[in-house]
Amino acid sequence: MLTGSLRRAVSASLLAASLITLSGACGQQHPAAGAHPSQSAGGVSPSRSAGRIDTGAAYFTSASGGVPEIHTVLRTTAELDAFAHHFGKRADAITAKARDTDFSRTALVGWSTTTGCAQWPSATLRRSGERLTLIAGRHPAPPPECFAPFHIIAVFVVPKERLPSEPVFS
């Protein structure tokens, strides 16, 4: 049996380790989270190799709770269904919002990621060469304490000619 002081020391150590783990998760910001929204505005260059490439989000949500980290190009309804399936109860809403996509001219880019303690109200998709980057919309600063990190799930509508042939997700 542990003595009272040893029990308190073990409890304090476990509490400290838990708080460090939580603060590390909440402190993690997506590389673009600090980007000013003006950096995400703007059109695509004539070469289609730089700038914002999405024409909007077919689906977007930002909430606490765990989601798998996924980023992929969706070129068919079957790929959309497979992407949505990863998100449990949200699957029906994702597929319903993106169901009318004309896959002959448009692709979807599905992206889910942790945004730390910042709850994003929106996001855009930018391209630089072959690299695709998620850019946060204007959002308030995260609180000084964080008990649960936020995650986003976004499905962007992108004209096929704006996508790189082999995208690299950052």
- In terms of pLDDT, which residue wins out, 27 or 63? 63
The per-residue pLDDT for 43 is 40
The per-residue pLDDT for 116 is 86
The per-residue pLDDT for 163 is 96
Confidence (pTM): 0.71
The per-residue pLDDT for 7 is 58
| Mean pLDDT for all residues in the chain | 79
122-136 residue pLDDT tens = 999 999 999 999 999
d(CA 70, CA 94): 14
- In terms of pLDDT, which residue wins out, 141 or 86? 86
d(CA 114, CA 34): 14
What would the mean pLDDT of 3-15 be, rounded to a whole number? 53
Domain boundary assignment for the chain: 4-169
Checking if the pLDDT of 37 tops 60, the result is no
47-88 residue pLDDT tens = 456 899 999 999 999 998 888 999 999 999 999 999 999 999
